[in-house]
Amino acid sequence: MSAGCCDAKGEELAELHGRQRRVLWMVLVINAVLFVAEFTVGWLARSVALLADSLDMFGDAAVYGFSIWVLHRGARWRARAAFAKGTLQLAFGLLVLGQAAWQATRGSVPEVEAMGLMGAVALAGNTFAFYLLWSHRSDDINMRSTWLCSRNDLIANTAVLGATALVWWLDSRWPDVIVGVAIAALFLQTAFGVLRDARTELAELRHEPEATPVG
């Protein structure tokens, strides 16, 4: 392979990393803002579904921070970051299950108007983030796990809106609790999948030399 070809490949890789970094920073900001807003509204509205979804936003902001950090590192570092992301998702899933249990035994009917409005805003923000990540979903394991987080956000946001309608119709806290449990289950399923893929890739890279971070 000629030096010119290698230089061209290096430039293409640097350009790809630059695009990934810009996208990740944008979705990080989206998720950080939505976390603050959704946690505040969820707390005031007494909605376990909103609180669960806001913790998802917080976890995603941390996930995107990990993703930015490993952009210029080797495959082993990307697999380690994916493993860390899966571990974080697992922890949040268990936390949400605890929240749902508490709400089921001691909670009250959440405020439907605030719950619905915040759910719609979160869905709009995450739809834009999903759009930004779509073209990078197959770049590598790091970007794929990031895209999976965004996909799960859309599912969770839609579920929150569905719970809002049921809370209003039934005048009951149970749809809110059930959605909280469902979001936790989604966390756990994704976490186990990401952890499995990361462990497989780390095992395949075990005997390869450690790459030196660049940039």
pLDDT beyond 50 at 55: yes
User: pLDDT category, 13, cuts 50, 70, 90?
Assistant: very low
Q: Which of 34-38, 48-52, 119-123 has the lowest mean pLDDT?
A: 48-52
| 90: CB partners within 8 A, 6+ apart | 187, 188, 191, 192, 195
Would you state the pLDDT for residue 116? 95
Task: Give me the mean pLDDT over the 123-152 stretch.
Answer: 79
Query: Hey, where are the domains in the chain?
Result: 9-204
- Annotate 20-43 with DSSP letters as a single string: HHHHHHHHHHHHHHHHHHHHHHHH
How far apart, in whole angstroms, are the C-alpha atoms of residue 39 and residue 48?
Answer: 10
- Is the Cβ–Cβ distance between 180 and 44 less than 8 Å? no
How far is it, in rounded angstroms, from Cα 165 to Cα 113? 10
Q: For residue 112, what pLDDT is reported?
A: 94
Reported as a single tens digit per residue, the pLDDT across 162-177 is 999 999 999 999 999 9
Would you state the torsion angle of the CA atoms of residues 97, 146, 32, 85, taken in this order, to the nearest 10 degrees? 50
3-state helix, strand, coil in the chain (%, to 5): 85, 0, 15
Q: Output 145 or 112, whichever has higher pLDDT.
A: 112
Per-residue pLDDT averaged across 54-62, rounded? 79
Alpha helices in 46-140 (DSSP H): 48-69, 75-106, 112-134
Structure tokens at 47: 């909605």
Residue 56, pLDDT > 70, answer yes
Q: Say if residue 11's pLDDT is above 50.
A: no
What is the average per-residue pLDDT within 152-157? 86
Q: What's the confidence (pLDDT) of residue 6?
A: 33
CATH homologous superfamily of 9-204:
Cation efflux protein transmembrane domain (1.20.1510.10)
Q: Which two tokens stand for residue 196?
A: 């499995």
Phi, psi at residue 113, to the nearest 5°? -60, -50
